[in-house]
Each structure stands twice: as structure tokens, then as C-alpha cells.
Amino acid sequence: MPQIFIPCIRRTIQWMAMAALLVLPGVARADFSGIFAPANWSLINNNADGSVITAAAPNSITLRGGDNGTYNPGTTDYVIEALFPGTVSFSWSFSSADDADFDSAGWLKNASYTQLVGSLPWSGSVSFAVSAGDIFGFRATTVDNVNGRGSLAVSQFQAPIPEPGSATLLLVGLGIFGVMRRKAR
């Protein structure tokens, strides 16, 4: 290879390595797709016949609480494991044919439940931190399982995922930079 091209190649590789460092943000954000696609979540009913509507995914999902006619409390959970640390955020709205004293909704992190609904307006935004391995998600509750289901619509969902290819690009760039530096000596 002619000597004139070696400095040019070396500079190009150095620029690639520096660019990789600049574009490595650590984590990206996801909607209800990829590792957070509806098929990867678990629906868990406890004395409830709730369901999740995923037709609008990846933009939104709707969790519907129980209404099995038992006059007993029940919960419907929609959960997933966090694979990476970071922040989960989402917008929500809640509706029910029943009173808020009987149907409500909220979010889960491990065994902890935080209720979202209490007074009008029944909508808002939430964000909370997760660690890798945390189980998080959404819950619709019913005190009586009669008079209609509560529905929690979740949109603008974001959760931590790895930045696709950035780490690989960085490692390849640094490896090539090291080889070229060694050859230059």
C-alpha cells in the first residue's frame, strides 16, 4: 500500500473512534416494541377477568380491570422485567363506568403499587427509576368486580434499552485504532 494512504486511513479511524464516543449515550428509549413488545409482557389476574388491548401498540396499550361479578376485590397486572437500569416514563388516562372508590389503576415496581387515580382529571404523566432485574408494569384494581371495568390507557411509554450498535461500533473503532497505532510504531 502506498505510504501516502496510511496517514489518511489512520486519521479516518481516529475520527470514527471519536465519533463513536460522542454517540454512545448509554441507553435509548423504547415504546411498546422490541424488548417491550406486548408479547414479552405478562398479564396476571388475581380474582379478576381483566385483559389488555394491544391493537394500538407500539404507541399505546389499554389495561382493562376485572368485572367477574364476584363482589370481591381483584387485580389485573401487566408486567415485565427491566433488563437495563434507567427511567420508565409514560402518560396515562383512566376511565370507568364505576366510581373511583371501586375501580382504580396505577403502576408497579417489584411488589410496590402506586395508585394513579384518586380525583379528576383522571390522566397525567409518571416517571420512576428502575434497576436491571426490577419487575415493573401497570395494575387495574377493582373493589367489587361489578358495575363495569376500569380501563387504564398507557401511551408515550419509554423505558431503558441498550443503544443498538453503539458499544460494538466503539469497540471496533478502538480495536482498529490500536492496531493502526501499533503498525505505525
In this predicted model, what pLDDT tens digit does every residue of 6-22 receive, in sequence order? 555 556 555 554 454 44
Mean pLDDT across 108-136: 89
Residue 30 has pLDDT above 60, yes or no: yes
Mean pLDDT in residue range 165-169: 55
The predicted model gives 30-43 an average pLDDT of 95
The reported pLDDT for the residue numbered 21 is: 43
CB 149 within 8 A of CB 66: yes
Half-sphere exposure of 9 (CA within 13 A, CB side): 14
For 40, other C-beta atoms within 10 Å of its C-beta total 12
Higher pLDDT, 129 or 164: 129
Distances from the Cα of 110 to the Cαs of 7, 14, 64, in angstroms? 54, 44, 21
3-state helix, strand, coil in the chain (%, to 5): 25, 40, 35
Residue 72 in this model has a pLDDT that exceeds 50: yes
pLDDT the model gives residue 6: 52
**Higher-pLDDT residue of 136, 165:** 136
Average model confidence (pLDDT) for the chain?
83
Q: What is the mean pLDDT of residues 31-39?
A: 96
